[in-house]
Amino acid sequence: MHPDDRRGFTEFVAARSRGLIRLAYVLTGDQHAAEDLLQTALVKTAGRWRAIRGDPEAYVRRVMYREQAGLWRSPRWGRERVVETPPEGLSSDATAEVDERLALERALRQLPPRKRAVLVLRYFEDLPESEVARIMGCSIGTVRSQAHQAVKRLRALVGDRVNQEA
C-alpha cells in the first residue's frame, strides 16, 4: 500500500472505528463476533482502498452487511447457540436505563437473523425501505413485513414495561 493510501486508511479507521463497531455489534449480537466482522471488513477495504470512490464508510458498511448475511446463509451458522445469560453471569446494574437496554438486547438476540438485520438497517441505520430491500436482496414488501413482524415480536418479548416505566 502506498504511504499516502496507508495514512488515509489509518485516519479513516481511527475516526470511524467506534461507530462501525457499534454497527457490527448490533448486526452480530456479540462483542467478539462484532470485532471479527469489523476486522474482516477493514481488511477487505484496505485491499481496495485506492479503488474506493466517494464514501469509504458506506463501502465498509456494505462489506459488513454482506459478510454477516453470508454467515447467516452458511450451514455452519446454526452450530453456536446464543444463550440468555453467559455461564459466568452478568453483574447487574441498578439503573433502569441499563436494565431496559439489557432486556432489549436479549430480545433482539432472540429474533431471527433476517428480522434483526431488517431492524438494524431500517431503524439503527435509518435507511429507506428501498435501500434495505436492495441490500437484503428482497422486495420492499418483504422488508415491511419483516420489520412489522420483528417489532411485534420485540413488543411481545420486552412488553410495554419500557414505556410504562418512562
- Under the banding of pLDDT at 50, 70 and 90, the label for residue 45 is very high
The number of folded domains in the chain is 2
Q: Decide if 53 is inside a domain.
A: yes
**Domain stop point among 26, 46, 78:** 78
63 with 31, same domain? yes
Of 14-18, 30-34, 53-57, 62-66, the least confident: 53-57
Give the cell for residue 54: 466517494
**Domain stop point among 21, 48, 78:** 78
Q: Decide if 30 is inside a domain.
A: yes
Residue 101 has pLDDT above 90, yes or no: no
pTM of the predicted model over 0.85: no
Q: Decide if 161 is inside a domain.
A: yes
**Domain stop point among 29, 46, 78:** 78
DSSP-derived secondary structure for 114-146: HHHHHHIIIIIS---HHHHHHHHTS-HHHHHHH
Give the cell for residue 26: 448490533
Q: Tell me 143's DSSP state.
A: H
Give the cell for residue 141: 414488501
User: What is the residue range of 113's domain?
Assistant: 93-165
